[in-house]
Structure 1
Amino acid sequence: MGDDAGRRAALATMHERHDAVAERVQRVYGLRLPGHLAVFCAFWKSASDAERAAVEHLMVRPFGLTEYFADGGLERRARDGLDERLHARYRCDPPEFVTVLSGGSDGLHYGLWYDDPAEVPTLIVHNYARDSAETWANGYRTLLGELHGLTTAVLDERDDDTVAALVEPLLEALDWFVDADNEAVDADGPVRWSGVRRESTAVSVFPLLPSDAGDPQLGRSHTRLEELHAGGAEAAAWIARAEAELAAGEPALALAVGGELHWLAGDEHRDVARRLRADGYRLLGRDAIAGIVEVHAADAGLRDVDVLVATG
């Protein structure tokens, strides 16, 4: 493939598959599937040998929700009685993070970031699961945009004609799909949180919250993380304050403290991290995110996150 006819055919195929995949994601996760995933999967299906070689050099491949778009993808089921939402979910992933692409070394993976289950995701995020496992974003809304940014970064950072010759064919292919990518974003409609300033904790992008959700005190996150890690009176005081504000109807601090405890992965605070986040998200009406918190907490020690397997 790789020619215009092949790309158009792949785009038509993935658009045809989108509704069925969206139904699966809504039923399993309680989340809205963005249209731009179908566009990325069309790019992937139509890649020529040269484009595939470039992708292999970048060491990325579909993983997570994008696997539903593959031939027979919707026939895959979770192994060993596990919950399907655990597929491609690493130990420190925030619940808003739903994987769509694996990366290179150190467990790099990319995902959709869902601030609110009622909305389409607003951001592509990434996490090195086998390194320090923080979750950050490069500012792209679509997976195609993220891959374009990754490709141009490789070209900018490496003064190597051989690498350039290998990777440059990818840019032309990605550019071909830009209009379809933009159309998919437009078709998903306006995003409630568009234009709202986004902040982070010491370890992750932080979800956008209503103005009456309270103060997550993100400016104190680095110090708070150290205190939570050390335990003792300071940690207990943060947890008590988060619980008190949650009980008063302000979940922001509970989500921040709970997220930091989740990243620290300490057994002694696992239940607290689960409760602060699950209760906080439910208070906001984000029940699907709360469900992911609870499913993940129940299998936090899962060593192999390749959960979906072919049937038959």
Structure 2
Amino acid sequence: MTSRDDALTTMTQRFSPVAAHVRQVWGLRLPHHVAVFAALAASDGAALGEIGLSPWGVTDYFRDGGLDRRGRDGLDQRLHARFRHDPAEFLTVMRGNTDGLHFGLWYDDPAELPTAIAHNYARDSAETWTSTEPTLLRVVRERVNGFLADYGDEEEEAGRVAPLIEALDWYQAADEAALRQDGPPGAASMPRSYLAMSPMPLLPPGSGDPQVAASGSRLAAFQDDPVQAAAWIAEARHQLAAGQPALALAVGSELHWLDDDAHRDAGLDLLVGAYRALGRDALAEIALVHAAHRDLPSVQVLAA
């Protein structure tokens, strides 16, 4: 097992080349706290596994030889660990051990650092929700606290997570230093609203009204009311053409998640059009490559 000092030194050294690769391939900025999580996984992976968590996604690049890995069968690396309902804003960094649970950095704007850490049970209902914790280690501690709330009265179960708690305490100073090094993302203080199945991406002033409160009724219409569905899509297109992409982004996100053949093309057009209008081209490109490969039998794309 790698010592914690060695793991932290190694992953800190690997951060810059991994971050440069993520910037080149995804067009996204990687926060320094990801390297601290990679160090935790390297030194205390067995303890992390006691609550069913392990690194996955772009954190695979922190493994030995990770940056030499490429997509299997020539597949785009941006498809790695990207489930069919994942929003383009979601970049997988960690997985759980049940129902396709995976955790990702949430990018409202690819020019900025991620504003949240999200999770999604891909093999269940596949909604995406965000944590209030700003780093992966704090999300891990949040999961530990949840485990203890459920099983803490059982001495054997509580003992299982004691090594992980000790490891989290050891890495806490490094995690806080990483957070200070990056500073808060520009939009971190903005209030966040939710669509029926995911966060509504934060938008600059003047982007229009995403009509978040109507998200549930829109999803119902897209499934059962073709006339109303067509009206929503038409209104989103109209507002997008008028320079207000918020509704197009909301409707496009809903149709992406719904994954219905009847509205697949319209949803992608709205989503990509909204991203382009907002200057979020990296997210547009992720949405396009994802749409072209949503039927992959496995999202384990990076070859060993």
Bucket of the pairwise TM-score, normalised by the shorter protein: over 0.9
Which of 204, 224, 235 is the equivalent residue of 1:241?
235
Contact 1:124–1:137, Cα closer than 8 Å, also in 2: yes
Alpha-carbon distance in structure 2 between the residues aligned to 1:229 and 1:42: 45
- Aligned pair partner of 2:286 in 292, 298, 312: 292
Give the TM-score, by structure 1 length: 0.95
- Give 1:229 shift: 1.5
Choose from 170, 183, 186 the match for 2:180.
186
1:54 to partner: Cα distance = 3.3
Mean Cα displacement is larger for which, 224-233 or 65-74?
224-233
2:215 alignment partner, one of 218, 221, 238: 221
State how far apart, in whole Å, the 1-side matches of 2:225 and 2:115 are: 34
Question: Contact 1:53/1:166 (CA < 8 Å) preserved in 2?
Answer: no
Say whether 1:10 aligns with 2:7: yes
On the 8 A contact 1:64/1:101 being kept in 2, the answer is: yes
Amino acid in structure 2 at the alignment position of 1:125: A
Matched with 1:149 is 142
SS in 1 for 2:23: helix
Deviation by residue 1:108-141 (Cα, 9 ceiling, x = unmatched): 0000000111111111100000100000122122
Q: How many residues align?
A: 303
The secondary structure found in structure 1 opposite 2:91 is strand
Moved more, 214-223 or 180-189: 180-189
TM-score after normalising by structure 2: 0.97
Deviations 1:129-173 (A, max 9, x none): 010000012212211111010011101111321110011221111
Letter in structure 1 aligned against 2:167: A
What residue is the counterpart of 1:26 in the other structure?
A: 23
Aligned counterpart, 1:121: 114
Secondary structure in 2 matching 1:175: helix
Partner SS, residue 309 of structure 1: coil
2:21 and 2:179 map into 1 onto residues whose CA distance is 20
Given residue 250 of structure 2, which amino acid in structure 1 is its aligned partner? Answer: A
CA distance in 1, matches of 2:139, 2:178: 15
- Equivalent residue number for residue 247 of structure 2: 253
Identical-pair percentage? 53
Q: Per-residue deviation at 1:56?
A: 2.1
Q: Give the whole-Å Cα distance in 1 for the aligned partners of 2:300 and 2:188.
A: 33
Whether 1:74 and 2:67 are equivalent positions in the alignment is yes
Structure 2 counterpart of 1:41: 38
Q: Counterpart amino acid of 1:9?
A: D
**Matched residues in 2 for 1:121 and 1:201: separation?**
19
Residue aligned with 1:126, SS: strand
Unaligned stretches of 5+ residues in structure 1: none
SS in 2 for 1:58: coil
- In the alignment, does 2:133 pair up with 1:136? no
Corresponding residue SS for 1:199: coil
Retained in 1: the 8 A contact 2:41–2:48? no
Structure 2: tracts of 5 or more residues without a match: none
- Is contact 1:278-1:294 (8 Å) kept? yes
The 8 Å contact of residues 282 and 290 in structure 1, kept in 2 or not, is answered as yes
